[in-house]
Amino acid sequence: MAVVLAAPAVLAHADESHYEVFYTPPDPLPAGEPGDVIRTEPSRLVLEPSGQLGSFVGTGTRIMYRSTDAQGNPVAVTGTYIEPDNPWPGKGPRPLLAYATAPYGMGEQCAPSRLFNQGIHASLDTGFDVMFNLEEGFVATLLARGFAIVVTDGVGLGVHGPMSPQFLNRVAGGTALLDAARAAMRLPGTSLDPDGPVAFWGWLAGGQAALAAAELASTYAPELNVVGTYANAAPTDLAATMPSIDGNFLAGALGWVLRGIQSAYPALEQPIWDSLTPRGVEMLANTGRQCMLQTGIDYMFRHLQPWFKDDLNQMVQADPFKGILAAQRIGNVKPTGPVYFSHNRWDPFGPYAAVVQTATDWCAMGADVTLWTNEAPPFLNKLDVNALLPPFIDAERSIAWITDRFNGAPTAPNCAELSS
């Protein structure tokens, strides 16, 4: 009788250990100001792991720079600066886009600056731990058109250590993006003019960060020459977003929100753990180390209440959570420069009505606001199709708007339509 010996299965793992030296912040941080560069190194830029199927027409530099967190404490933030190969064909000096991505997950392996090196991250460390660089097409297109780009990982993401990302925190999101722009301007050997124009770009949580940067610019980074802000599918009112998460493909994003609150408001870390059922504890622990696809697969279409001991609706309508969620709202401070919103009317994650209210409030302050409504009808909305697909449909329109801002073209705000 023949015996067949099967070879043991070989598990694929993406080795992240080589990132640890760069991504571990110095302790203590060196003296300096927000936006000062702490360290840099060359960064491989690929569209997919082999690096052979297409390329970015530019040179990547990984950066670590000083910023401030939600409490105003100095913190190290990582990101990527990309210097274009192509000249800027427009007016004036080369423009800088300060770019905040969609949420790629809470695990440090999910940081955008790491995904630029891989195109596709894949390992089995947290289950089906696969993540794509969802916005590489946007970045590659903008780069080819002569824009310099700096992409922030945001406060707490990517850095090696115990800190969690301060997810959807208005202050931390805005300061990380503003300081990324400052860091790019201070890098040696770039084609940027230190006083040149800057615009903010963001999608989903990155859109909230871009809008927050526009609100904070006048007081936090008044020296920046901000010419515009673009945000697509941005959740402008976190309290209004909470019901949308229930039963959603990204129901596990509630874990990201809770992690963000714990990191930004340390006094609430233990009370949040204490508020959870055993199932909730498992969810919060897992989502804190996963990328987006794994979080979606593990917790898709779940209802939120079974994760909590007490009534969730009552919890978010009472302090401290009521006040914390309200503090993340966009629309209470006049932004610097013109703002362009692109949002689907049936967005399943960031309610359209909340974006209209933010735009209306800004218009009342005299801001230059344009809201483009994507009218793609609702389709498989619990899968977030109407949040994930419209940015690609509207990409050329969005790029044209941001290009016009750098070329000094007049805007066409539609505040009158919003108030009618």
User: What SS3 class is residue 317?
Assistant: coil
Both 203 and 146 in a single domain?
yes
Both 258 and 207 in a single domain?
no
**pLDDT grade for 1, boundaries at 50, 70 and 90:** very low
Residue 128 has a pLDDT of: 74
The whole-number average pLDDT for the span 204-216 is 98
Residue 73 has a pLDDT of: 97
Both 153 and 33 in a single domain?
yes
Distance CA 334, CA 326 (A): 17
pLDDT per position as a tens digit, 20-66: 999 999 999 999 999 999 999 999 999 999 988 889 999 999 999 99
Residue 2 has a pLDDT of: 38
Both 283 and 247 in a single domain?
yes
Domain boundary among 300, 326, 352: 326
Closest CA to 99 of 200, 209, 214: 200
Domain boundary among 283, 304, 326: 326
Domain boundary among 294, 326, 358: 326
Both 184 and 312 in a single domain?
no
Both 157 and 68 in a single domain?
yes
Both 31 and 140 in a single domain?
yes
10, 190, 219, 330 from 369: Cα distances, Å: 54, 32, 20, 13
Instruction: Supply the DSSP symbol for 65.
Output: E
Both 182 and 156 in a single domain?
yes
Residue 298 resides in a domain: yes
> Please, what is the average pLDDT of the chain?
93
The parent domain of residue 217 ranges over 26-238+331-419
Both 99 and 140 in a single domain?
yes
What angle do helix axes 170-186 and 205-220 make, rounded to 10 degrees?
Answer: 70
Residue 304 has a pLDDT of: 96
Predicted TM-score (pTM) of this structure: 0.94
Task: Please say if the pLDDT value at position 337 is more than 50.
Answer: yes
* Tokens linked to 384: 């977030």
* Tokens linked to 66: 């000083």
Both 120 and 250 in a single domain?
no
Both 209 and 282 in a single domain?
no
What CATH number is associated with residue 267? Answer: 1.10.260.130
Instruction: Supply the DSSP symbol for 241.
Output: H
Residue 366 has a pLDDT of: 97
**pLDDT grade for 4, boundaries at 50, 70 and 90:** very low
- How many domains does the structure of the chain reveal? 2
Task: Please say if the pLDDT value at position 204 is more than 90.
Answer: yes
* pLDDT above 70: percentage of residues in the chain: 95
* pLDDT above 90: percentage of residues in the chain: 89
Both 231 and 291 in a single domain?
no
Residues ≥6 apart with Cβ < 8 Å to 93 = 192, 193, 196, 197
**Ramachandran sector of residue 56 (left: φ over 0; alpha: ψ -120 to 50; beta: rest):** beta
